[in-house]
Amino acid sequence: MALTLCPECQGKVSDQASACPHCGFPVKSKIADKPVAKPSLIESNSYSGEQNKPHQDFRPPVAKPLQSSEMNLATKPRENVLAISFYLVLVGICCFIVIMYFVTHANPVSKRNEISESVIDSRVARNEAQIVIFNRLMEEKKYWDARNFAIKNIDVSDKKNTLIADAEIKAYLQTINDPKASRDKRNKALTSLASDYPDHAKPYAEAAKRAELEILNSSQVQGQTVVNKYAAKARKEGVSLGMVPEEVLMSSWGQPNGKSRSTSTFGGVESWYYSSGSSLIFTDGRLTQINN
């Protein structure tokens, strides 16, 4: 027995039935004339596994929207790829930094030695150039210029001291033997040579002694000249508080007509009286009061 469709209601009817059990339509005479309909998509329901209902109950399947968890599963592979790429880039950067560190800091002792050697070489070359300039000044008999140049520009200590001493000795001898040099310059050169370089001053020992005496006498004369100038200035300017008696005597006030001494709680007091009616009062040797 086979099933067929009712031409009226499309219900399932046995090919042996004379009428449709659903609507009563006589199907016996129509079955022979009407071919059996081919199975359609509605005859099988792959979504539910149930038999198809009549065509009026059929609904096409509707696509369900993706849930958040399904969306996460869909995007997760791409996120994994990005994360792996980021970690690979980070690891590459770290490896590059480590390699560069070892390249730049490999064997630091040798590098420091190379730097120090280059610095030393540059200093030696510079000193050699400065010594050439020093020798040129010495050849030109500019001994003081050569001495000052060596002090400022030559770095090697042992050579520096030797060069400075050589320049000073020749400068002193040049002044001593120069007939155009003044007596004061010659005496200063003799005494300086005798005090700083006694071995080189032996031929000039007697001359050096005479120079010392002349400088001493000259200093005394100069000192007396300074005192005389000060006294002349004081005589013109008068007296001022804080002067000692000697300064007052050298001033325009000069010697007083009378003096008196007394003692107070502040110390020894000395009064000087002048014919003009003026007086000066000293306390502990200093002028503390002027009475005109």
Average pLDDT, the chain: 76
Provide the percentage of residues in the chain whose pLDDT is more than 70.
68
Q: Do residues 205 and 122 share a domain?
A: yes
Would 91 be classed as within a structural domain? no
Phi, psi (deg, nearest 5) at residue 264: -135, 180
Q: Do residues 270 and 172 share a domain?
A: no
- CA 141 to chain CA centroid, Å, is 45
Would 129 be classed as within a structural domain? yes
Q: Do residues 244 and 215 share a domain?
A: no
Q: Do residues 141 and 177 share a domain?
A: yes
Query: Structural domain of residue 245, as residue ranges?
Result: 238-291
Would 287 be classed as within a structural domain? yes
Average pLDDT over residues 70-79: 57
Please give the Cα distance from 280 to 243 (Å, whole number). 11
Q: How confident is the model at residue 50 (pLDDT cuts 50, 70, 90)?
A: very low
Residues 107-156 pLDDT 10s: 555 555 555 566 656 777 787 888 888 899 989 989 999 889 888 888 76
Q: Which of 167, 194, 222 is the last residue of a domain?
A: 222
As beta bridge partners, residue 267 has 264
- If you ran DSSP here, which 8-state letter would residue 5 be given? E
Q: Do residues 187 and 149 share a domain?
A: yes
Would 3 be classed as within a structural domain? yes
Would 169 be classed as within a structural domain? yes
Would 259 be classed as within a structural domain? yes
Would 283 be classed as within a structural domain? yes
As beta bridge partners, residue 270 has 261, 282
Residues 79-115 pLDDT 10s: 677 788 888 888 989 888 888 877 776 555 555 555 5
Does residue 195 surpass a pLDDT of 60?
yes
Q: Do residues 27 and 120 share a domain?
A: no
How many separate domains does the chain show? 3
Counting DSSP H helices and E strands in the chain, the numbers are: 8, 6
Q: Do residues 242 and 276 share a domain?
A: yes
